[in-house]
C-alpha cells in the first residue's frame, strides 16, 4: 500500500516541527544554565531597589558555576568552576543554606573575615559606621493605599551606593551582635532593613557559602503592581510599572 504525497508532506512537517521544538528547548536550557535565568520578586525585603512583581534576569556566569547553576541542582561536584569573587554591594540570588531548594535575593554586605554589626539602625563594617544620608521618603502606592517610608542612601567602603528603607525606629534587627563572616562565606542583607530575614538571623539564613550563589541580578525586564499576575494582560495598561522595564539593578 503506497503512501500519498500529502501524507508524506504531513509526516515531514510534523518531524520538522518536532526538531525545531527540540532545538529550541536545548537552546533555552543552555541559556538558562550558563547565561541568564529569570526570577520574580515575591516579597518586599529588597524594597525600594526591587519591588514585589518585578521580573529580572540573573547572570549565571558572573561568579562561575556551582551545582546550583544546573537544573535540579544535581550533586555532581562541589565548589565552583571558573569562580569569580563577589563584590561588596552586589545584589545576588542564592540558595538558602538551611533549605537549598529555596532561592533568596539580597545584597552582599559582608565579605569573608569581615565583622558586621547594626547599632541603632546604623550598619558597621569592621568597626566603622557605613556612611548614610537621609533622602526623600519612599512612596509605597501598591495595595490601594499610600504609605511614606523613611529612606536612606548608604555608601559602602568600596564606593557602592544604594537606598535602604526604615519602616520603624528601634526595629527588631536594628541592634545586633557582632557577626564574624567565616572564610568562603558572605553576609547578606535586604535593603528593606526592618522587613528582611537575612544573614542577621543566623537560625534562618546566616552566612551564605560561596557555593550557594546562583548569580547576579542584572536587569528588570518586566514589572507589575497592584497584586496582578504577569499573565493578566488585560490589566497591563494600568498595572505594569512601565518606568521600571529594562532598568539595571544596582
Mean pLDDT score, 212-238: 92
- What average pLDDT does the segment 4-31 reach? 70
Residue 83: count of CB within 10 angstroms of its CB:
14
**Which phi and psi angles does 233 have, rounded to 5°?**
-65, -25
Residue 1: which pLDDT band, with cuts at 50, 70 and 90?
very low
pLDDT over 60 (residue 139):
yes
User: What is the domain-level CATH number for residue 23?
Assistant: 2.10.109.10
Instruction: Round to whole Å and give the CA distance between 117 and 85.
Output: 22
User: SS in 3 state form for the chain?
Assistant: CCCCHHHHHHHHHHHHHHHHHHHHHHHHHHHHHHHEEEEECCCCCCCCCCCCCEEEEEECCECEECHHHCCCCCCCCCCCECCCCCCCCCEEEEEECCEEEEEEEEEEEECCCCEEEEECCEEEECCEECEEEEEEEEEECHHHCCEEEEEEEEECCCCCEEEEEECCCCCCCCCCCCEECCCCEEEEECCEHHHCCCCCCCCCCCCEEHHHEEEEEEEEEEEECCCCCCCCHHHHHHHECHHHCCEECC
Residue indicated by cell numbers 533549605? 99
pLDDT band at residue 70 under the 50/70/90 scheme:
confident
Least confident of 117-126, 128-137, 143-152, 222-231: 143-152
Take residue 33 and report the three cell numbers written for it: 544554565
State the Cα torsion 218-219-225-227 to the nearest 10°: -50
For the annotated catalytic residues, the residue numbers are 45, 106
pLDDT score recorded for residue 9: 57
Mean pLDDT, rounded, for 142-161: 89
Domain that holds residue 86: 5-248
Q: How many domains does the structure of the chain reveal? A: 1
pLDDT of residue 29: 72
pLDDT for 131: 97
Amino acid at each position: 500500500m503506497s503512501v500519498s504525497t500529502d501524507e508524506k508532506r504531513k509526516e515531514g512537517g510534523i518531524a520538522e516541527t518536532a526538531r525545531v521544538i527540540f532545538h529550541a528547548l536545548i537552546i533555552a536550557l543552555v541559556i538558562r544554565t550558563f547565561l541568564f535565568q529569570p526570577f520574580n520578586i515575591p516579597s518586599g525585603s529588597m524594597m525600594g531597589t526591587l519591588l514585589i512583581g518585578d521580573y529580572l534576569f540573573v547572570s549565571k556566569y558572573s561568579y562561575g558555576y556551582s551545582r546550583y547553576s544546573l537544573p535540579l541542582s544535581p550533586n555532581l561536584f562541589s565548589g565552583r568552576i571558573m569562580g569569580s569573587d563577589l563584590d561588596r554591594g552586589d545584589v545576588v540570588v542564592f540558595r538558602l543554606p538551611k533549605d537549598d531548594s529555596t532561592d533568596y535575593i539580597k545584597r552582599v554586605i559582608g565579605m569573608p573575615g569581615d565583622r558586621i554589626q547594626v547599632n541603632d539602625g546604623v550598619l558597621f563594617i569592621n568597626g566603622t559606621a557605613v556612611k548614610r544620608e537621609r533622602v526623600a521618603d519612599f512612596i509605597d502606592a501598591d495595595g490601594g493605599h499610600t504609605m511614606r517610608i523613611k529612606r536612606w542612601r548608604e555608601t559602602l567602603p568600596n564606593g557602592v551606593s544604594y537606598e535602604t528603607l526604615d519602616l520603624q525606629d528601634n526595629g527588631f534587627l536594628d541592634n545586633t551582635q557582632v557577626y564574624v563572616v567565616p572564610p568562603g562565606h558572605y553576609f547578606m542583607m535586604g535593603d528593606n532593613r526592618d522587613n528582611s530575614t537575612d544573614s542577621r538571623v543566623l537560625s534562618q539564613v546566616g552566612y551564605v557559602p560561596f557555593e550557594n550563589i546562583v548569580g547576579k541580578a542584572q536587569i528588570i525586564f518586566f514589572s507589575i503592581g497592584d497584586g496582578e499576575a504577569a499573565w493578566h494582560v488585560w490589566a497591563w495598561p494600568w498595572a505594569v510599572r512601565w518606568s521600571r522595564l529594562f532598568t539595571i539593578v544596582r
